Structure 1
Amino acid sequence: MNFQTILKTSRPNFLLLPPLCVLLGVAAASVQFPDIPALSIILVLIGAIAAHVSVNMLNEYHDTQSGLDATTQKTPFSGGTGALIEDPASAKAVLVGGVMAAVVALAVGVYFMLNVSLWIVPIGLIGLLIVFAYTPWINQNPFLCLISPGLGFGALMVMGTELVLTGTVTRLGVVLSLIPFFMVNNLLLVNQYPDAEADKAVGRYHALIAWGTTVSTTIYLFFSLMAFELITLLLVFGQLPMWGSIAYVGLLLNLYTAYGLSRHKLAIGNHPQYMAANVVATLLTPLIVGVALIA
């Protein structure tokens, strides 16, 4: 067992997303309760990051076992880390690590279930289902594979955060949860482009394989517009201060990525600047919206 391998398979560079989704949940909660206990926020962060670590490690384990990671085109954003290809002896430790991270997320959920609301139970169960089923089963269903990332990071993480901090989910929390729902779906969709042929060879059947690049790029553009339509609604109805409109920078980045997808299609991995723009938009948008609501 090599600790560096285990750390690498957790994909620490990608762990900025859970705190930003939690930020949106905290922003929704702070409208009702300005003084939220710091301990509760810390526990939510631990649970959210643990869930993401779990799905990353389990994905790395399964993709190495299936042979997928040995055939993918590696980019800074897709294709796996290659850690288990270099150190296959650590495979079992990575599997155990992924399961243990899920146990940590579960423990946090149980704490809030006992102390705040039983409504966290269905959210937690759906989240655990996504964590354990995403790589071996969900990736074989185009629709479920398309929406599961956004469901986990958006609907479940944002609304779950508001629920455990306040005991309820408001209309604002639902709207905020839909922003990362659309953007994180897009994040995973774009990252599938360089891997499409390798994915197909090992039996995956996600949206890109099922429906092709033209439909997938159209979906990407639609999801991008939907996310920023929600921001527009927040601005129009006075829920978001006007300076929050800086978040529209994310839309420009999404349009840039859509242009790259339409031009380069499955070869987008050779032009990582378009993938990078998508990642920046996905991280920057909830950051700006969350800070604007709390400030």
Structure 2
Amino acid sequence: MPARSLPLEPDARLRGRPIVWLLATRPAFLVVTLIAVLLGLALTAHEGAALRPWAALATLVFALVAHAGANIINDYHDRDTDGLNRDRLYPFTGGSRFIQNEVLTARETAWLGYGALATVVPAGLALTLTSGPLLVPIGLAGLLLGWAYSAPPLRLAGRGLGEVVITAAWLLVIVGTHYVQLGRLSPVPAFVGLPYALLVAAILYVNQFPDARADAAAGKRTLVVRLGAARAAHGLPLLGLCAAGWHLGLMAAGAIPFATGAALLPLLALVPASAQLKRHASDPARLRPAITGTLAATVGYGAVLTLTLWIDA
């Protein structure tokens, strides 16, 4: 069934309503950034440092706004590709549909997305005064990645580098949150945060399968387009194994407590998700279980890891 026939898609009747500005950010996906910030805070507490609540709240707000802005400019720069997409599985793939369904114009979308990113700059500079000067390059690197992911001339997602960008961006969220609290850089949040960042990249990866035909038609050479659906289907379990293996290595090295092994349990959702992906890699209409399973594994892993670190602290 084409995704356009689904009643969930926004339509022009929403135009002019204040809720549009929130819905355009794809708020359901912002949970991965919420967890990344909480993970950075949990690592800070686990090291025995006292948290600075207002700095933590500011970090969370700015990280969410940056993610929201990146989502919106992705809709703007992918508007032609999304317009070609007949295999999308809304709301997971194919963009927000706000431009295509005439809820927002392309110009309004661009102003909203770039406006959100612009507000993060002065706010981040103000936060630098209470944390440290290295927050500037951390924040600018995050904004650059959010822009370069979909905006020309780089358009890194269309060059097969989307997963690298996503992994790096969410590592920066965890590292930046930790830095704001302690005022110094540490390798700990990067090492501990890597499995979660890889799983966030896995969400992007599995979402590329329903979009592959439209991406190929628009000249976007994502990993799924480059490899072909059948071969690319092996990438999801590989990402899951890398995340789980790295986590086990951290436990063996004593970098994280044994109790964090509970965070590996949600990764079991990747087993049926990977099986579904391999079975239906070329049949977008049947990929919803693979996508939801990957989301559940990622959110579950991040939430349990964060909780166990808090408890141990």
Could you tell me the TM-score, scaled by structure 2's length? 0.86
- With over 3 angstroms needed to count, the CA separation of the structure-2 counterparts of 1:173 and 1:91, relative to structure 1, is same
Q: 2:301 — aligned with what?
A: 285
In the alignment, structure 1 residue 169 sits paired with structure 2 residue 185? yes
Distance 1:106 1:205 in 2: 31
Aligned partner letter, 1:10: T
Retained in 1: the 8 A contact 2:32–2:200? no
Q: 1:139 — aligned with what?
A: 157
Aligned partner of 1:57 among 72, 87, 93: 72
In the alignment, structure 1 residue 84 sits paired with structure 2 residue 106? no
Distance 2:40 2:193 in 1: 8
- With over 3 angstroms needed to count, the CA separation of the structure-2 counterparts of 1:110 and 1:247, relative to structure 1, is same
| Structure ranking higher in helix proportion | 1
Q: 1:68 — aligned with what?
A: 82
Retained in 2: the 8 A contact 1:6–1:90? no
Q: 1:149 — aligned with what?
A: 166
- With over 3 angstroms needed to count, the CA separation of the structure-2 counterparts of 1:248 and 1:269, relative to structure 1, is farther
Q: 2:248 — aligned with what?
A: 232
In the TM superposition, what is the alpha-carbon distance from 1:191 to its structure 2 partner? 0.3
Q: Which runs of 5 or more residues in structure 1 are unaligned?
A: none
Aligned partner of 2:212 among 181, 191, 196: 196
Q: 1:98 — aligned with what?
A: 113
In the alignment, structure 1 residue 216 sits paired with structure 2 residue 232? yes
Retained in 2: the 8 A contact 1:6–1:93? no
In the TM superposition, what is the alpha-carbon distance from 1:209 to its structure 2 partner? 0.9
Identity %: 25
Distance 1:89 1:234 in 2: 46
- What SS does the aligned partner of 1:266 have? coil
In the TM superposition, what is the alpha-carbon distance from 1:268 to its structure 2 partner? 4.2
RMSD: 2.0
Distance 2:113 2:241 in 1: 34
Retained in 2: the 8 A contact 1:28–1:170? no
Q: 1:159 — aligned with what?
A: 175
Distance 1:101 1:109 in 2: 13
Q: 2:7 — aligned with what?
A: none
Aligned partner letter, 1:197: R
Distance 1:59 1:43 in 2: 24
- The 5-angstrom pairing of residues 120-139 of structure 1 reads 120-136=135-151, 137-139=155-157
In the alignment, structure 1 residue 275 sits paired with structure 2 residue 291? yes
In the alignment, structure 1 residue 8 sits paired with structure 2 residue 23? yes
Distance 1:270 1:59 in 2: 25
- With over 3 angstroms needed to count, the CA separation of the structure-2 counterparts of 1:14 and 1:77, relative to structure 1, is same
Q: 2:269 — aligned with what?
A: 253
Aligned partner letter, 2:158: Q
Moved more, 198-207 or 130-139: 130-139
Distance 2:131 2:228 in 1: 45
Aligned partner of 2:260 among 209, 229, 244: 244
- The 5-angstrom pairing of residues 112-123 of structure 1 reads 112-123=127-138
Aligned partner letter, 1:57: I
Moved more, 198-207 or 102-111: 102-111
Retained in 1: the 8 A contact 2:206–2:290? no
- With over 3 angstroms needed to count, the CA separation of the structure-2 counterparts of 1:89 and 1:15, relative to structure 1, is closer
Retained in 1: the 8 A contact 2:207–2:291? yes
Distance 2:177 2:40 in 1: 5
Retained in 2: the 8 A contact 1:46–1:105? no
Aligned partner of 1:25 among 40, 46, 49: 40
Distance 2:282 2:265 in 1: 25
Distance 2:295 2:56 in 1: 25
Retained in 2: the 8 A contact 1:117–1:164? yes
Q: Which runs of 5 or more residues in structure 2 are unaligned?
A: 1-14
- With over 3 angstroms needed to count, the CA separation of the structure-2 counterparts of 1:81 and 1:140, relative to structure 1, is closer
Aligned partner letter, 2:229: T
Distance 1:69 1:23 in 2: 36
In the TM superposition, what is the alpha-carbon distance from 1:213 to its structure 2 partner? 2.7
